[in-house]
Structure 1
Amino acid sequence: MEFSKTQKLLLSIFIIGIMIWIGGSVVRSAIVYDIFEADYQQLKFRYWVDEKIALISVRNFAVGSLYTGIGFLLSLLSSIFLFPAMKMHFKSEGWLFMSFILLVIAFIFEIILSYFDIRLGLYLFFNPNVSYYSNEVQTFFYKRFSKYNFLMVYNWFAVISIILFSVFKPLRKK
């Protein structure tokens, strides 16, 4: 499969966007698990963390969501232009079709997660009197990680699978 210069540029932007997107989500998970303990069915607030430290962690999470969102948008926009040009190769390159399906599902899940991130960021940065225990922070931060964390983990698995498909190229017609 030969790529034109435009396709190579779009592919490079796509890969950089994916790296920023997934790297940012890993960093944000590390920030969250700095103030929470993972229990069997729920997240528990670490008892030694006070409200000020928790709020700083939430703000760092919101700043990280900006970088993650930029990476997501880069990968989304470049894939919108890249994959239609590669559509003719879907039958002969099965790995490309499987990667496309995984990526579409991951994009849908990331849009759902971005809703919570944007709401949290807008509340934190435009409200001067923010408390960790405020209803908005609890709704858009705690619920995002207690109920919707599996979406982020799915995105990680999808991208890892896409990388493996790109390396080993299964279902390839010769």
Structure 2
Amino acid sequence: MKFFKIAFFILTLSIISCDKKSISKPEDIGKNVFELLKNIDKKTVADYNLEVITYDELKALANNKKAKLGDSRSEMQGMTSEKFKSLSLIHLHKIQNGGKKFNIDWSKITYSNFVFDIFDSNIPDFGYESKFVKGETYFKNTDGKIYFVKSISYYDGKGYKTVLVTEVDPKDRS
């Protein structure tokens, strides 16, 4: 539940202005997330943010007067680049530390599957219905075990854009 709350906050922050390449079908989000995972042990927070939301995109949204952000606007405008980087590092490190814990060879993982749920949410503050995808991207490690990461993406009217990728867990948690 905590993951969902954090993801929804980030989704709310980025729902209007994220300029990432849109993904046309929700089924393809997992392949996009998988590309982020390749060699993630060598990636920086800047690399991570190239695939999700950047600080500049967050600030552009906060300063967009047409964006109906309500009480979130002042919080977004007050977010420093250091705080944003800290939050991004948390998600990146969850993936990287999970890789160490499970001995994942990020350069040799193979795509397995993408399982997702689409949520339609009427967010009164935005004045329109939004659609977002909570997903799990599954991949196989060199030891033959299947793992997954969690993600949140949203539909911006043109396509899906990923705003958060975090955590690594084994498929079978036994």
Q: TM-score, normalising length from structure 2?
A: 0.30
Which structure has the larger Rg over C-alpha atoms? 1
Q: Which has the higher helix share?
A: 1
